[in-house]
Structure 1
Amino acid sequence: MKISSDFYGKYENKDIKEYTLTNTQGVSISAIPFGAVLTKIVTPDKRGNRAAITLNVDNIEDMINYRPFYGAVIGRTAGRIAQGKFQLSGRTVHVDTNEGGNQLHGGPQGLDTQLWAIETEVEADGSAGRLIFRYNSPAGENGFPGNMEIKVTYTLTETNDWIIDYSASTDARTPFNPTHHVYFNLTGDVSQSVLNHELKLNSQQFAPLTQDNLPTGKLENTEGTPFDFSEAKSVGEAVLSAHPQIKPLNGLDHPFVIKKNGKNKVDGSLYDPMSGREVQFQTDRDSVVIFTHNEAINDFSIEGRPVRQYAGITLETQQLPDALNQPGFGNIVLEPGETYQSRTIYSFGLR
C-alpha cells in the first residue's frame, strides 16, 4: 500500500492537498480535506486498463461555486428535511433551508462545504491504508442543536475494499444521518452513460416521493414495478420507463429499503458489461438512495467534458430520508453520551 499527496487547489488562502492511497492490485482512492471529498477512484477494467470510475469536477473552485455534492460526505442529515423543521424534545426545531423551503443535504453550510482535518495511516504489514477526516460542527450550524465531533475514515485494503467508517458524538440531542454522495460510472469514460450498467439490490420496498422530492411517508413493494432490482437488470430499463414516480424526474432519486439476508452480506451490486467492472456494497444502514444524474449540466466540466445526462449513479447508504418527520422511518436522533457508528463497504472486482 502506497500513500502520496499532491497540490489540488486553494481554499481560503490555504493549500489543499489531494491524498491518494494505491494498493498493489492497481486500485486507488483519492480525496481532499475540503468536504472530505473523494476526488476519484481508479480501478483496472477486464483488459487491465486503469481509469477513474467516479465523477468529480475538475477543480476546487467548481466544488465551491456549484456544490454538486460529487464524492462528498453529506450531513448532518442526508436528503431533505420537510419545511426545514422537526420535533425534538417537545419543541419545534427550525433548521436552515436551501431548497424550496426544505433543507437539503445538511443545509447551506453542510459537511460537504467544510474544511476537515486529515490524517494518513498505513498498516505496518501494508494490508490497508487510511485517510482519517475530523470536523467539529458547532451548535447552531445550519440550525442544528449540539456541538458535534465527527470522524470519517476512508480505508483502502489490498483486497480492493473501500471502507467508510462514520463516528460522531454530541453534547445535546441532535439528528445525525450522514451518507456519502459517490457517483459511479464503471465505464471509466464520462462521455458514456450508466444506462447499460446492471443494478441489483437486496430490496423489496422503495419510498415514493412527492413533487418536492420528499418521501410521502409510505413504503411500496417493488415487485412488478420498474423499481424491482431483486434480479440484476439494466439501469435504463427503470430510468426510461413511464412509471409516474420516474418519468417526471427523468430517472431515479429514490430510497430503497435494504432487506438483510442473514449470511448474505452483499446488499447490492453495480456491473458494467463493457468494462467488466463491478462494485458490490454492504452497509449497516437501512436504506440506499439511488440517483441516476437525471439532467445534463453545462455549468462545469468533468475531465474537460460537459456532464451528460445519466453520467453517473449513486449508491447512498443511510437511514431513510426525512425520518424526523415520517413515523416508521426510524430514529436518527443521537443522544449525549452515545457514539454514533456506521460502516459501508464498497468492494471492487471484475467479471
Structure 2
Amino acid sequence: MSIKKDVFGKTQDGGKAHLYTLKNKAGMTAVFSDYGATIVKLLVPDAKGKLEDIVLGYDNLEQYMKNSPGFGSFIGRHANRIGNASFAINGKTYELEKNDGNNNLHSGSKSFNKFIYDAEYYEDVDSSTIEFSRLSPDMEQGFPGNLDVTVTYTLTDDNELVIEYLAVSDKDTVVNFTNHSYFNLSGHASGSALNHKVWINANQFTPTDDNLIPTGEIADVEGTPMDFRTAKTIGRDIDADYKPLKQGNGYDHNYVLNHETTDVELVAELIDETSGRKMEVFTDTPGMQFYTGNFISGEAGKDGVTYNSRDGVCFETQFYPNACNTPNFPSSIIKAEQEYEYVTIYKFTTI
C-alpha cells in the first residue's frame, strides 16, 4: 500500500487544498482531496486488468469549488431534500436555505463539499486510510449544534473502498451524510451508463410529490419500473410512462433497503458487461438514493470530456429524504452527544 500527497491549489479565501493518492497491491488507485473530503478519481481494473478511472469529476480545484452536480462529494449536514427548507426540534423551528424550489437540497449552496478538512493518513499491511475531519459550528447552514465530523476512506487490497461516517453534536440536531460519486464502470469518459445492469435489494421505495419530497407513503416496487430485485439494465425502464420516473426525469428515488440485521450488508450491485467490472454496495443505512444523473447537461469534466445526462449513476446510502419531517420514517434526528456512525463499502470485482 502507498499514500502520496500533492498540492491541488488554493481556494478563494487562501486555503490550501491537497490531493491524496492511495494505491493498493492490485493497482487500484483512489485519489481524494481535503477540499470537500472529495473522491476525485477511482482507477479500477477491468476483466483484463486494465485500469480506468470510473468516477465522473474534474481536473482542477476551481471546478470542484463550483461542482453543481456534486461529483465525488461528501454531503452534509443533511444529504437529499428537506421539505419547505425547515424542520423542528424540541418545539423550535429551524429555517434553511431554499436552493431547490421551496425546498432545501444537500443542506444548501455550501454543503460539506465546500470546506477544507484536516487530514490524517496512515498505512496498514493490507489497507491504507485517509481521515478527514472538521468542526461544523452551531447554526452552520441553519442546523443547531457544534458537530464534530469525520469521514474516513480506506482502500483495501481486496479492491474495497470503505467509507466510515462519524459525527457527534452538543445539541439535538439533524444528520444525514452520504457520498455523491457518479459511477460509470466503462470509464468516466465512455458516455451513457444506461447499458449497465443494476440490482437493488429493496422491496419498497418512497414515492414523492412533484417537487421530489416524499409523501410519507412506502410503496412496493412489485410490478413497477422501480423493481431492481432482479438485475436489469438501467435503460430498460427508465423512460417508462410511470409517474415517479416522469417526476424525476429518470431514477432519482430513495429505496427502502431490505436489511436482515443492523450490520453492514450487501444492498446493491452495478455491473458493466462491456468492461467486465462489477461494483457491490454494502451499507448499514436504512435507505439509498439511486440517481441516474438525469440533470447533468454539457458539464466540462476530466480529460476534456463533456458529461451529459445519464453518463454516471449514484448510489447514495442515507436516511430517507425529509426524514426529519416524516414521523413514520427512520429518524435523521440525533440527540446531543449521541454518535452518528454509519459505514458504506464500494467493492470492485470482475464478472
Residue 31 (1) aligns with residue 18 (2): no
Which residue in the other structure is 2:57 paired with?
56
Which residue in the other structure is 1:109 paired with?
110
Partners of 1:171 and 1:296 in 2: how far apart?
A: 38
Mapping of residues 49-128 of structure 1, within 5 Å: 49-123=50-124, 126-128=125-127
Quote the offset at 1:184 in angstroms: 0.6
Q: 1:127 to 1:9 in 2, by over 3 A?
A: same
Quote the offset at 1:13 in angstroms: 2.6
Which residue in the other structure is 1:134 paired with?
133
Between 1:330-339 and 1:225-234, the stretch displaced more is 330-339
Is the 8 Å Cα contact of residues 195 and 236 (structure 1) preserved in structure 2? Answer: yes
Provide, for residues 229-282 of structure 1, a one-character-per-residue CA deviation record: whole Å limited to 9, x for no partner.
Answer: 001100111312221211343311000010024699311110000000001011
Partners of 1:253 and 1:332 in 2: how far apart?
A: 20
Which residue in the other structure is 1:220 paired with?
219
Which residue in the other structure is 1:148 paired with?
147
Which residue in the other structure is 1:173 paired with?
172
Provide, for residues 292-311 of structure 1, a one-character-per-residue CA deviation record: whole Å limited to 9, x for no partner.
Answer: 01134225333212112211
SS across alignment from 2:282: strand
SS across alignment from 2:223: coil
Which residue in the other structure is 1:162 paired with?
161
Partners of 2:269 and 2:296 in 1: how far apart?
A: 25
Which residue in the other structure is 2:335 paired with?
335
Which residue in the other structure is 1:22 paired with?
23
Q: Which runs of 5+ in 2 are unaligned?
A: none
SS across alignment from 1:278: strand
SS across alignment from 1:41: strand
Between 1:318-327 and 1:241-250, the stretch displaced more is 241-250
For 1:234, the aligned partner's letter is T
SS across alignment from 1:192: coil
Partners of 2:223 and 2:237 in 1: how far apart?
A: 12
Partners of 2:94 and 2:16 in 1: how far apart?
A: 37
Provide the alpha-carbon RMSD of the alignment: 1.5
Which residue in the other structure is 2:257 paired with?
258
For 2:111, the aligned partner's letter is G
Is the 8 Å Cα contact of residues 191 and 308 (structure 1) preserved in structure 2? Answer: no
Instruction: Extract structure 1 runs of 4+ deviating beyond 6 A.
Output: none
Which residue in the other structure is 1:314 paired with?
314
Partners of 1:103 and 1:219 in 2: how far apart?
A: 22
Which residue in the other structure is 2:185 paired with?
186
TM-score (norm 1): 0.96
Between 1:171-180 and 1:259-268, the stretch displaced more is 259-268
Is the 8 Å Cα contact of residues 97 and 108 (structure 1) preserved in structure 2? Answer: no
Is the 8 Å Cα contact of residues 69 and 296 (structure 2) preserved in structure 1? Answer: no
Quote the offset at 1:217 in angstroms: 1.3
Quote the offset at 1:333 in angstroms: 1.3
Is the 8 Å Cα contact of residues 134 and 149 (structure 2) preserved in structure 1? Answer: yes
Is the 8 Å Cα contact of residues 145 and 170 (structure 2) preserved in structure 1? Answer: yes
Partners of 1:296 and 1:32 in 2: how far apart?
A: 22
SS across alignment from 1:224: coil
Percent identity of equivalent pairs: 34
TM-score (norm 2): 0.96
Is the 8 Å Cα contact of residues 277 and 350 (structure 1) preserved in structure 2? Answer: yes
Is the 8 Å Cα contact of residues 264 and 284 (structure 2) preserved in structure 1? Answer: no
Partners of 2:171 and 2:338 in 1: how far apart?
A: 10
SS across alignment from 2:338: coil
For 1:236, the aligned partner's letter is G
Is the 8 Å Cα contact of residues 200 and 268 (structure 2) preserved in structure 1? Answer: yes
Partners of 1:302 and 1:214 in 2: how far apart?
A: 32
For 2:48, the aligned partner's letter is R
Is the 8 Å Cα contact of residues 17 and 116 (structure 2) preserved in structure 1? Answer: no
Which residue in the other structure is 1:294 paired with?
294
Q: 1:95 to 1:130 in 2, by over 3 A?
A: same
Mapping of residues 273-284 of structure 1, within 5 Å: 273-284=273-284
